[in-house]
Amino acid sequence: MKRLFLVGLVLFFGSSALVFAQEQTERRRGLYLDVGLGLGGVSYFNGDTKAKADYFNNIAKSRETTDSFLLAIGWALTQDVYLVWAMSTVDDDYADAQLHRSQITINLWGVGARYYPLPSKKYLQLGLDVGLSRMVTTYYMQDIPDSSDGGLSGRLSVACDFDTTMTGLTVLLGGSLMMNIIENDTSLAYALFFKLAFK
């Protein structure tokens, strides 16, 4: 009877350990992917781009600024930090009364990190992307856009992760600030964004 009890005890603890190990394996973070869209604004502080934006704004009936393409893909360095390759595009779109459009576009390509600072490893996500950038200005009735030389941009983000587990599909809602130094122009873009992510 004692032998049967000991065998049962060993089987119970052995199966419990296997289940726990399996759960831990399933919950370990690996691949990261997110894609999203944002709405916000951009301020130009100096240089030719500020003059262009002021001109567009004076003749425009409406202005809309979007983070039209947000993408990050990477891998977990630790269970709190992902290293990602990131891309984002800010479209500052001006339309006159006849819906003729001019646009200033800022593109960022770089590397970044996604960090979960809370002990529970969920809910709060902090992000930082740094990389090369380029500004493209499209004028109404002009076929060839005006493209700048390369510059540098950095993007900070804070988001709420609505997934209650460490891994899996999730929705992110948050805000971002993107500082751009391109040629002699400095600008700051800001947005509220929505993302779908797999972590």
Per-residue pLDDT tens digits for 14-47: 434 333 433 444 468 899 999 999 999 999 998 8
Percent pLDDT > 70 in the chain is 85
The pLDDT score that the predictor gives to residue 24 is: 44
pLDDT exceeds 70 at position 68: yes
CATH tag for 29-198 (out of 3.40.1160.10, 2.40.160.20, 3.40.50.300, 1.10.287.1080) = 2.40.160.20
The residue-averaged pLDDT of 148-170 equals: 92
pLDDT exceeds 60 at position 12: no
DSSP secondary structure letters along 24-53:
HHHH---EEEEEEEEEEEEEEEEHHHHHHH
Determine whether 118 is exposed, middle or buried from the number of CB atoms within 10 Å of its CB (0-12, 13-18, 19+).
Answer: exposed
Most confident region among 116-120, 175-179, 181-185 by mean pLDDT: 175-179
Chain-wide mean pLDDT for the chain? 85
Span 70-106, pLDDT tens digits: 999 999 999 899 999 999 999 999 998 888 889 999 9
The pLDDT score that the predictor gives to residue 121 is: 65
The residue-averaged pLDDT of 110-132 equals: 91
Structure tokens, 129: 């992307």
* Residue boundaries of the structural domains of the chain: 29-198
Among 9-13, 81-85, 119-123, 169-173, the range scoring the smallest mean pLDDT is 9-13
On whether the CB atoms of residues 153 and 106 are closer than 8 A, the answer is yes
The pLDDT score that the predictor gives to residue 91 is: 95
Q: pTM of the predicted model, to two decimals?
A: 0.81
